[in-house]
Chain A
Amino acid sequence: MTTEKTISLEINGRIFQAQEGMTILDVAQREGIPIPTLCYHEALESVGACRLCLVEITHPDWKGWRGLVTACLYAVEEGLQVTTDNAEIHNTRRTLLDLLLARCPNSDVIQKLAAEYGVTATSFQKNPIETTCILCGLCVRVCAVKGCSAIGSARRGIQKKIAIPFGQPPPDCIGCASCAHICPTGTIKYEDTADVRKIWGHTFKMVKCESCGRPVMPEKQLEFESEKSGLGPDYFKLCPVCSQRKSVETIRSTFDMKPVEVAR
């Protein structure tokens, strides 16, 4: 283990203490300094894909050099001077949102964020391919963290897209739908019925709550989770409502057998 070194840096003219290895965004979020993000998630590795968290940095030793870096990736340094918002940063973010709006003109999330920076219609040519995917990669990273790595990205440049291998239902997908839950623009969809969950071309059979019959999770996910957690399958066979009902019933029957005397 390395000893954690304390670093002091300046954000918007105020001095803050941070631990070595923290990023500018970690410190800013801890201190409640707003920096917009789209592809950042604390539980996942940062990749700097959306570039919205751009901040300006400089240092007394850098002889006046200053530049824009992504706050989610840039590790803090002693004496670093960070500016989280000025005209240049604002304009850069504005251009980024203009480009995102050109890519995804129909995304509510992007429309709303762009409007905050004064962009109501894109000044670029609109993307002829209809999509709301901003290629932030949160879905790919969350899938990897789950231990599946079923989805990835394919192609390059403007043709880049989130894809499944060879366009076929990915064999490693367990149907947990974490990719859909984390998607900031709601691009990834799944469909649940009483019996099946449809996602990424798969039709997964659902495990039903042993008590009420409501779908709990896909059978393949149950196998995966019971093995990964080491808890075994019994932990995943009741829905939360029935689990709670069961504990109420257990406690009640215990009570009826042994009334508790409470001294007042």
Chain B
Amino acid sequence: MHKTLTITPSRCISCRTCELACSFKHAGVGGLGISRIRTFMFGEGKNQILTCFQCDEAACVKVCPVEALSRNESTGAIEVNEARCIGCGLCSIACPFGHMAHDAVNGIAVKCDLCRADEPACAAFCPTRTLEYI
């Protein structure tokens, strides 16, 4: 059984460190807009953090015309094979939760891949254990 990225929104202090950690890890630059994890703030200290649910029956995988999306059996995450992706954007439309992003610079799909083999950067940097990889 692989580990799971758990999110406990009640602990979130809306610091958005997870978003920075994610963008640094994947794009090499800090930018909240290019993060694969997103914080939503509702005021009164209520926050929600959203990232890919790694669905069992994933719509993104079903629609991809070139099989660029597949599950990494060791982490359980669905990963984008950047070399295969043709940038058609279908996965981002098909995802019912809006978790697929499109990298406009490279013209390919990007999504949370639980940082492949490492501990997810968002969980490693979260100061309040809102994000945990357990």
Contacts and interface: CB of A to CB of B under 8 A. Distances in A.
A42 B84 contact: yes
Interface in B19-52: 38, 40, 42, 46, 48, 50
A223 B96 CA distance: 17
B65 A146 contact: yes
A260 B94 contact: no
Contacts of B90: 176, 217, 225
Interface string B53-73: 000000100110111100000
Nearest to A181: B87
A231 to B, nearest CB: 6
Contact of A229 (B46, B63, B95, B100): B63
Interface residues of B, number: 37
A235 B90 CA distance: 10
Given A178-B86, A181-B87, A235 B96 contact: yes
A184 B40 CA distance: 37
B46 A255 contact: yes
Contacts of B117: none
Contact of A239 (B40, B46, B66, B93): B93
A187 to B, nearest CB: 15
Interface in A217-264: 217, 225, 228-231, 235-236, 238-248, 251-252, 255, 259-260, 262
A252 B50 CA distance: 11
Residue with the highest number of chain A CB atoms closer than 10 Å, among B40, B63, B98, B107: B98
A58 B99 CA distance: 49
Contact of B97 (A228, A236, A247): A247
A147 B65 contact: yes
Q: Secondary structure of the A side of the interface? A: helix
Contacts of B85: 43
Given A231-B62, A239-B93, A244-B97, A252 B86 contact: no
Q: Secondary structure of the B side of the interface? A: loop
A112 interface: no
Given A43-B86, A240-B93, A240-B100, A230 B48 contact: no
B88 interface: yes
B98 A247 contact: yes
Contact of A43 (B9, B38, B84, B98): B84
Nearest to B38: A244
Nearest to A234: B96
Contacts of A43: 66-68, 83-86
B99 A244 contact: yes
Contacts of A147: 65
A247 B88 CA distance: 23
Contacts of A235: 59, 63, 93-94, 96
A41 B8 contact: no
Contacts of B98: 238, 240-247
Contact of B66 (A145, A242, A259): A145
A41 B50 contact: no
21 contacts: A41-B83, A42-B81, A42-B84, A43-B83, A43-B84, A44-B66, A145-B66, A146-B65, A176-B88, A178-B88, A181-B107, A229-B62, A238-B93, A240-B95, A240-B101, A243-B95, A243-B97, A243-B98, A247-B96, A247-B97, A247-B98
Interface of A: 29, 41-44, 142, 145-147, 176-178, 181-182, 216-217, 225, 228-231, 235-236, 238-248, 251-252, 255, 259-260, 262
Query: Which A-B residue pairs are the 8 nearest by beta carbons?
Result: A244-B98, A243-B98, A43-B66, A43-B84, A42-B83, A247-B97, A240-B92, A229-B62
